[in-house]
Amino acid sequence: MLIALLGYMGSGKSVVGKALAKSLNHPFLDLDSYMEEEMNSTIPEIFEQRGELFFRKKEHEFLRKVLDSNENMVLSTGGGTPCYSGNMELLLQATSNVFYLQLSVDGLTKRLSGEMGHRPLISHLPKEELADYIGKHIFERQVFYNRATHTIKCDGKTVAEIVKMISAQLV
């Protein structure tokens, strides 16, 4: 069974994904970490040296490779993965277990304010502009995120509660 987690950066895809994979006895794959390993470079380095367009092209290639493997796994995508190159269609064709981990702008701002230095899309922002940036980005990406087969509202929930909510909806 393939389970795909998507959502904005900081929504908990990796943390929840690892816990979910452990509870289901499935392997866990973080698409960003997989890309870093395969390309022998960090995501911020790829953005800085090659640009976002190159990154999105490689992200699509690696997503296709992972999905073509037809392996059982919990897959954590990057925050922008579903929004580019037909990736959302690929995910929906691969599994009916596509979960959007939804957090409010306030919740995301609290989580991301301490992580700005290693998040290439927000590292250049003054802290006081973070909430507006996230709100704008969420608005732009919502059309993709809302195509997920399931939406999990994560504000105020523990990782264990989110894992339980996902597990109850698996097809």
Q: Is 56 annotated as a binding residue?
A: yes
* Contact by Cβ (8 Å): 76, 30: yes
30 is in an annotated binding site: no
110 is in an annotated binding site: no
Find out whether 79 is annotated in a ligand binding site: yes
- E strand residue ranges, 23-159: 28-30, 73-76, 98-102, 150-153
Q: Is 106 annotated as a binding residue?
A: no
Q: Is residue 77 a contact partner of residue 5, using CB atoms and an 8 Å limit?
A: yes
The answer to the question of whether 10 is labelled as a binding residue is: yes
Q: How far apart are CA 85 and CA 92, in angstroms?
A: 14
Q: What torsion, rounded to 10 degrees, do the Cα atoms 137, 97, 54, 39 define?
A: 130
For the chain, how big is the Rg over CA atoms in Å? Answer: 15
Is residue 132 a known part of a binding site?
no
Does 78 appear as a known binding residue? no
N-terminal to C-terminal alpha carbon distance within the chain? 9
14 appears as a binding residue in the annotation: yes
Residue list, annotated binding site for Mg(2+) = 14
| Binding site, annotated residues for ATP | 10-15, 119
Binding site as annotated, residues for substrate: 32, 56, 79, 141
Binding residues: 10-15, 32, 56, 79, 119, 141
